[in-house]
A and B are shown apart, each in its own frame.
Chain A
Amino acid sequence: MAKNMKLVTSPLNLNNPILVQVLGICSALAITVKVEYAIIMSVSVLFVMAFANVIMSLLRNTIPSRIRIIVQLVIIAALVILVDQVLKAYLYDVSKQLSVFVGLIITNCIIMGRLEAFALGNKPFESFLDGVGNAGGYALILIIIAFVREVFGSGTVTLPGLGELPVIPQAFYDFGYQNNGLMILPPAALIVVGVIIWVQRSMTRELIED
């Protein structure tokens, strides 16, 4: 049981896919302008990753290892199309904003990486937990980056269902405060990721390399 818990918790910090494995950076740069996008993206990735892991794990003894990559791609692609269609049907505006990046979940290195490294050699339930854990680690960082970028870049926090909530009080703007335009640009996401990695490494001893 403790081992299963670890499958979920370890990717949140010590084995974080973005911070430690440095995977999935592309989407972290692209869709973290608003918190809402980051949350929707995270949920989509969570769904795809968890179920891709389970399906892969179920099939793991029947697929010849030569064609496993193709099978993995088919599974992921099918799930991504599912997500994409659901978003288009129920969250059309968000889906338009996320545009190609939902489709690009197919190429998200974290998903393929977990299928290869974990689901191919483990039972379905463990694989499910691993998928949830890694998607959770991805989501955590994505939302932190999006929060920093949106608060400093636009002065708001956009949550699904609640819309744009102003965070910086109007009095600040009257006093001459301005939103930081750099935060809207993709390089800012890279800087924020860098700073988070820096903070994480200086706080956790296990990660310090010699």
Chain B
Amino acid sequence: MKGLLKYIEKIKPNFEQGGKYEKWHSIFESFETFLFVPGVTTPKKGAHIRDAMDSKRLMSVVVIALIPALLFGMWNTGYQHFLALGETAGFMQEFIHGLIKVLPIVLVSYIAGLGTEFIFVYIKKKEIEEGFLVSGLLIPLIVPVGIPLWMVAVATIIAVVIGKEVFGGTGMNIVNPALLTRAILFFSYPSKMSGDKIWVSGLDNGMVVSDAYSGATPLAQAASTSSEQLTEHGFKFFNGLEKESVTFFDMFMGWIPGSIGETSTLMILIGAAILLYTGVASWKIMFSGLVGAILMGLIFNMFATDTNPFMALPFYDHLVLGGFAFGLVFMATDPVTAAQTEKGKWIYGFLVGFIAILVRVLNPAYPEGMMLAILLMNVFSPLIDYYVVRGNVKKRLKRMSA
């Protein structure tokens, strides 16, 4: 590390004003500050204290928190693949299969996203503020494994340009870029983002699977449960093979088909613990989101009818199905797009959970309500903040006049 720092110090003058590679200053600086905390300290005068925890360090914490979900996702990809084939495979074999499938998606998302950001930084001659470090890892975790790579690249570029750069880059975006990528994919290429062929690797290439195999996710199974099935045996989830049913525990652990990183609630909880311990994410958003989802789930349970059996799905199942947990922990808490005021965070989080279950149950076309709920609340969070601040001003004015 020392040697690297020395090398950077040595080549630095080339990139300063008047240096040989002056044009590349912004890009050099991005790499430098990514590797090392910038050597700027608090000025002697004034009342500011600057923490070494800048946005790049903040991002690294989120990346670390994502690692459990990523690794589990890789293993699960392989596990589902061999399960569909009807073969038994060892742990390492499964993991390596998943690694080969998932790694290209990670690389493509990083190259497409960072490439776009670098081009914009170069044009604007501004220092890069690396927001894409996290987005680049989030994107592979929220897409199905069967997604073609070029689609990931196209959607990532569109999302970074119209979701982030037009608003002025990192920190100025209104909606979460990773989630916007998923939304663009979802509406652009619906055949590759939903259905029961794309969640298990190899299934869409006409892979020969064992009998009676269906690659549908438990969320999709729940949504398509008919009222006859419901009265007969209640909600039952299958893991494809031989209609092997999965329990709540299986879904919590995550060995079910689904987007790469979203299946395992346990791994997401580990990530959540890291985020909360370091104080990067807001516990208020997570908690109130949970409350909102449970409340909406209970309301549906109370008014469940025959016409929409999905309403009868127990509220606790909602929490482990689909992208709910992942979205709540990693997407809704994005400090840029979430509400900024403390009171606003409660409202924001609650509505995210509430609307997610609402969309999920009542709109059969969009089983993944979490994505739409977070994007919608992203748009509304400045409004929430505005009214929270106005309310506070009013309260204080009243106190002053009293």
Are B162's CB and A181's CB within 8 A? Answer: no
Say yes or no for B19: interface residue by CB 8 A criterion: no
B166 partner residues in chain A, CB cutoff 8 A: 194, 198
Q: How far is the CA of A4 from the CA of B38 in the complex (A)?
A: 60
B192 to chain A: closest residue by CB: A178
Q: Distance in Å from the Cβ of A175 to the closest Cβ of chain B?
A: 9
Task: Given A181-B189, A191-B162, A195-B162, verify A176-B150 contact (CB < 8 Å).
Answer: yes
* Segment 181-208 of B: residues with Cβ below 8 Å from A: 184, 187-192
Q: How far is the CA of A180 from the CA of B191 in the complex (A)?
A: 11
A194 partner residues in chain B, CB cutoff 8 A: 162, 166
Say yes or no for A74: interface residue by CB 8 A criterion: no
Q: How far is the CA of A177 from the CA of B166 in the complex (A)?
A: 27
* Segment 158-191 of A: residues with Cβ below 8 Å from B: 176-178, 180-183, 185, 191
Are A180's CB and B162's CB within 8 A? Answer: no
B162 partner residues in chain A, CB cutoff 8 A: 191, 194-195
Are A181's CB and B187's CB within 8 A? Answer: yes
Are B189's CB and A180's CB within 8 A? Answer: yes
Task: Given A191-B162, A194-B162, A198-B166, verify A181-B190 contact (CB < 8 Å).
Answer: yes
Task: Given A176-B148, A191-B162, A195-B162, verify A185-B187 contact (CB < 8 Å).
Answer: yes
Q: How far is the CA of A182 from the CA of B193 in the complex (A)?
A: 13
Q: How far is the CA of A80 from the CA of B187 in the complex (A)?
A: 35
Are A182's CB and B148's CB within 8 A? Answer: no
Q: How far is the CA of A194 from the CA of B174 in the complex (A)?
A: 15
A191 partner residues in chain B, CB cutoff 8 A: 162
B190 partner residues in chain A, CB cutoff 8 A: 181
B188 partner residues in chain A, CB cutoff 8 A: 180-183
B154 partner residues in chain A, CB cutoff 8 A: 180
Q: Distance in Å from the Cβ of B220 to the closest Cβ of chain A?
A: 19
Q: How far is the CA of A178 from the CA of B189 in the complex (A)?
A: 7
* Segment 126-171 of B: residues with Cβ below 8 Å from A: 148, 150-151, 154, 162, 166
B162 to chain A: closest residue by CB: A191
Q: Distance in Å from the Cβ of A102 to the closest Cβ of chain B?
A: 28
B150 partner residues in chain A, CB cutoff 8 A: 176-177
Q: How far is the CA of A132 from the CA of B227 in the complex (A)?
A: 61
Q: How far is the CA of A122 from the CA of B148 in the complex (A)?
A: 59
* Segment 106-129 of B: residues with Cβ below 8 Å from A: none
* Segment 127-181 of A: residues with Cβ below 8 Å from B: 176-178, 180-181
Q: How far is the CA of A177 from the CA of B150 in the complex (A)?
A: 9
Are B191's CB and A182's CB within 8 A? Answer: no
B189 to chain A: closest residue by CB: A178
Are A182's CB and B192's CB within 8 A? Answer: no
Q: How far is the CA of A181 from the CA of B154 in the complex (A)?
A: 13
A184-210 to B contact mask, C-beta < 8 Å, 1/0: 010000010011001000000000000
A180 to chain B: closest residue by CB: B188
A176 partner residues in chain B, CB cutoff 8 A: 148, 150
Q: How far is the CA of A182 from the CA of B162 in the complex (A)?
A: 14
Q: Distance in Å from the Cβ of A119 to the closest Cβ of chain B?
A: 37
Q: How far is the CA of A177 from the CA of B153 in the complex (A)?
A: 13
A177 partner residues in chain B, CB cutoff 8 A: 150
B192 partner residues in chain A, CB cutoff 8 A: 178
B166 to chain A: closest residue by CB: A198
A178 partner residues in chain B, CB cutoff 8 A: 151, 189, 191-192
Q: How far is the CA of A176 from the CA of B187 in the complex (A)?
A: 18
Q: Distance in Å from the Cβ of A56 to the closest Cβ of chain B?
A: 39
Q: Distance in Å from the Cβ of B162 to the closest Cβ of chain A?
A: 6
Residue of A181, A183, A194, A198 with most chain B CB atoms under a 10 A cut-off = A181
Q: How far is the CA of A176 from the CA of B188 in the complex (A)?
A: 14
Q: How far is the CA of A123 from the CA of B162 in the complex (A)?
A: 44
Q: How far is the CA of A177 from the CA of B189 in the complex (A)?
A: 10
Q: Distance in Å from the Cβ of B154 to the closest Cβ of chain A?
A: 8
B184 partner residues in chain A, CB cutoff 8 A: 182
Q: Distance in Å from the Cβ of A18 to the closest Cβ of chain B?
A: 18
* Segment 346-374 of B: residues with Cβ below 8 Å from A: none
Q: How far is the CA of A178 from the CA of B188 in the complex (A)?
A: 9
A195 partner residues in chain B, CB cutoff 8 A: 162
Q: Distance in Å from the Cβ of B62 to the closest Cβ of chain A?
A: 28
B189 partner residues in chain A, CB cutoff 8 A: 178, 180-181
B151 partner residues in chain A, CB cutoff 8 A: 178
Interchain residue pairs with CB less than 8 A apart (6): A178-B191, A180-B189, A181-B188, A181-B189, A181-B190, A182-B188
**A interface, CB within 8 angstroms of B:** 176-178, 180-183, 185, 191, 194-195, 198
**B interface, CB within 8 angstroms of A:** 148, 150-151, 154, 162, 166, 184, 187-192
* 6 further interface pairs, Cβ-Cβ under 8 Å (given A181-B190, A191-B162, A195-B162): A176-B150, A178-B189, A180-B154, A181-B187, A182-B184, A183-B188
Question: Would you list the 4 A-B pairs with minimal beta carbon distance, nearest first?
Answer: A182-B188, A182-B187, A180-B188, A181-B188
